[in-house]
Structure formats: structure tokens, C-alpha cells
Structure 1
Amino acid sequence: MEDVITEIPPPSRFFQEDLNNFAPPSQPLPSPFLLFSDPKTEPLRPSLLIIAISPPSLYLFDNLCTKTLIGSLILPEIPFSGNSIEPTPADKCCNIYELNGAANLTLLVSLKCPVSAERFNIVAKLLVGKQIIPERVLILGSVQSQNFRGKLSPDETYAFKLETLAERGKGSDSGASSLLEGLDYFPSGSMVDGLAAALLSQCQMRNIRGTLCVSWPDHGSSVVAQVRSLLQKNVLHGFDLSSSAGVEDKHLRITQIKDYPFDSELYT
């Protein structure tokens, strides 16, 4: 006689999609939106918009004192639990700052929370072209090893750039220069995807002078120094992006242990 308690139940007569018909449909998530401390009817028109996505750039701007919080990008799927009232490096958020002391209005977007792939386009449109209409955009991203044509050594640092046609065209005119003058272009055959690519595409569609700077690796004192040098030499003249050696070493040790990409060939 079969044991009705321990016997494996027969397969369901319904397909999985049929079973889903009995469950109420999930409510769609609200769309992301920008929230400013001083709401204005007119869009902001900064001379330069910097969007920091890569870990080295986020670390550098976390330690920049001459900035004022003016707003945030709100993603409804990202909970606020665990974030402090005052912004800290550990917060999972996307804050918008105004850089104090710049000759012209310069905004910084510090994107420290994950953005899902289906949100890339709507977030890119929010940051570039709707409530913020910049003259120039600098996106700081990372080289993705799976999309790079060639071998990337974790012991060496690299930085490349991609530009919109408007930025490249202005750079070829007399009297106008590229934002990251002298930096090599991203190698042919390699690819950039994700939010950084969506932001650069938005700049291209709106004929905005946009530059995407990607660096490798994601963590380490050498790549932090390289990104710092690029920013101080070409973009933020006179801004102090340095930090105390003890704080920097502690941060880099933690991030290397937690997130450092290992070379899989060493373990095959």
C-alpha cells in the first residue's frame, strides 16, 4: 500500500503559466523621478554634468568637501533602510550635488545604487535632457572585461574615452578642445553597455557634448590616482580630490577584498 505522506505527489495537471492565472497580477513599480530640495519650474542648465558610476570616481567624490546636496534620483525599488540622514559613503542612493567654487554651474550625480537593465533608458532620460539640460556631460564608468577585446591585467591601469559626435566635432574646431584631451579612444572591437552606454546614447540623440571615460580595474590605489589625475588636469582645475593616506588605504583594502575581480586563468 502506498504511503500517502512520503510518496512523491503526481505532477500537476496545469502548466506553470496556467497556475499564474489564479494569482493576482503584481502592481507595476512607479517610475523613477528626480527630487530637488528647491524645486524649480524650469530645468537646470549646468555648464557641466558629471555622472560618477565607477568605484574609483565614487570614492574620489565621496571625499570632496566642496559640494552641496541639491537633490536625489529616487528609484522606488531601492529601499531607504540602512541609509543615514546625512549622506555617507556606505549609503545606497543616487544624490545630485552642486560643486562649489566652479566658474560655471557644475553638477555631480553620484550613483551608488544598482539600476536594473529595464530602468537604464528612463534613468538616462531623467538625468540628461528632461529636468537637467547640460551643455556638456562627463560619464565616469568602468571597463567591462567580458566586453573588452583583449586581455586586461589586474596589475595594470587603463583609461579610455568615447565621445559623441558633438564633442568630437567641437574638439576638431580651432579654439575648442576635447574634455579629456590626450586620452586614448576605446579600442575598436570592444563594447560598452549598461547605464553608462545609455547615458552616452542619450547625449548623442540630443546633440549634447558627451564624453564617457572608462577605467580599469575597479579598485586599487593606482586606478584611483589615474582618475584623480584626469579630473584635476582636464575637468576640475583647482579642486582638491585628495584624501588622507590612512582613509584611502583602509577603503582600498576593504573594496579589494570584497569586490576585486580575479583572473580566472590563474585557477584553471
Structure 2
Amino acid sequence: MTWSDVFSFEDYGELLQLMINPLIAAIALGVVGGLVGVFVMQRDMAFAVHGISELSFAGAALALLLGGSVVAGSLVGAVAAALVIGLLGARARDRNSIVGVLMPFGLGLGILFLSLYQGRSANRFSLLTGQIVAVTAPDLTWLIVISAVVLVGLVLVWNPLRFDSLDAASAEARGLPVRGLSIVFMLLLGAIVAAAVHIIGALLVMALLVTPAAAAMRVSHGPVGVPVLAAIFGLVSAAGGILLAIAGTLPVSPYITTISFLIYLVCRLVAWRRDRVGRRPARQAERVLAT
């Protein structure tokens, strides 16, 4: 492998014109995925994201085997997994055990379906690492519709879902339908995971549904700042990964995951620096009192 495999801006303008559909899909997924990720982090469901992605992978693999829509198959698998987790995993302990059972089951089914598939090997590999460079007009329509539905759903349940995520006991005491909110959120999560699997692959889906929100929570704690930063970080990771991937021959996933990880590292450094500076006045006050 040479450096030109990673970055080579030859004919970049012509290639960019061919990547309009993937870029639009990445922007939509990055923004909505970042917003959903805020609740994923608040509800401690990062592990569930990976479990849903495995069933989504199995559904996509079955659709590929049967010659159907990969996006539709991915959506069916993800929604089925989300419903199982939402209905049976009300408590964190139960949820983690259910996810631990679903993950190998979904991955095993996906591998079985891919082993039976006799088509191009690139199609198999793309289910694990994404195939955004091959987003067609029908695929883009699916992805935009899914993202729009998830975004509208989030807006409708944002305040009660935030209350439930931060203090479930108080939310239930106030009469909020906690179980219903959990199931609604799991369905929204399943839908956006299905879209993310098509973009970045089942193995790397957490880079857009967990990392941006985790980074945002390092540098902000406000009810507005966290979702805004999470959406921006998701947008930069997804769209930036596409724009860099055009310049090379590598799959898009390494670019997206690398940008997302670097953003998280920078946010951790900023938080560490801020905390260190904030502790200095307290230490100085202690020294003054000691003397």
C-alpha cells in the first residue's frame, strides 16, 4: 500500500460529483445518529447498539441472499431486535443479558446467510464495513425517510424521554409512560441503526451512534449544548469521512471511525485541561487556609 491509496486528490472534483448521494446520506445519518446517541449514552445503552446492529446485519444478509432490498432487510432485523430488547430488557441487567444473547445469534445467522450467498464477495464485505459509496437513488430515499422519521419521533418525545433517561424513578412517579417511552426509543434506535449499518457496516456502527455523543458529553453538560455538539460531531465524522474517502482507494469506514475517534480524543483533552485549570483556585484556597 502506498500513500496514494490513503490520499490522492487527482480528479477529485469529478469524483465528488459522483458521490452526491453518499454525501447526502452521510449528512443525514451523522446528524440524526448524533442526536440519538445522546439518549443512548444517557440510558447506558451503548452495548444495545451493537446487539441491534448484529440482528440488522443478519436481516441485511438474508435480503442479499434472497435478492431483496438490503436496506429493508437491515431495517426489519434492527426493528425486531429493538422490540425484543425494549419489551424484555426494562432493567439494565436484563437488557445486557438479552443483548449478549442476541449478538452471537445475529452474527451467526448473518455469517450463515453470507456463506450461502453466491454473488460478489464485495457485497458480503460491505455489510460488515459499509457500502456508502454504492448508495443508489432508491437507497438514498430509504435512508432519508428513515432519518426523517427518527428525527420527527425524537422531537415528539424529546422532553419526556430526556426526563426518563436522567431520572426514570421520578418520571414514573410523575405518571410518564416509562415503558412506552422505552419501546418508542428502541424502535427509533433500531431504525437509525439499520441506516447506519448500510452506511458504515455492522462492526463499526458505534462510531456514529455512540462516539459523537460521548465526545459531546465530555465538553458540555447543557440540555442544548450536548445534542447540538453531538449532531455536529456526527456530521463532521460522516461527511468528513466521505470527503476523505473520495481521495483514496480505501473503504470509507476507516476514515469515518478515525475522525470520530480523533474528535473524542480532543474532547477528552479539552475536558481534562478544563478540570485541571478549574482545580487550581481550589488548591490555592486550601493553601491559603492552611497557612
Q: Specify the structure having the higher radius of gyration (Cα).
A: 1
**TM score, norm. by length of structure 1:** 0.24
Q: Which has the higher contact order (CA 8 A, sep 6+)?
A: 2
**TM score, norm. by length of structure 2:** 0.22
More helix by share: 2
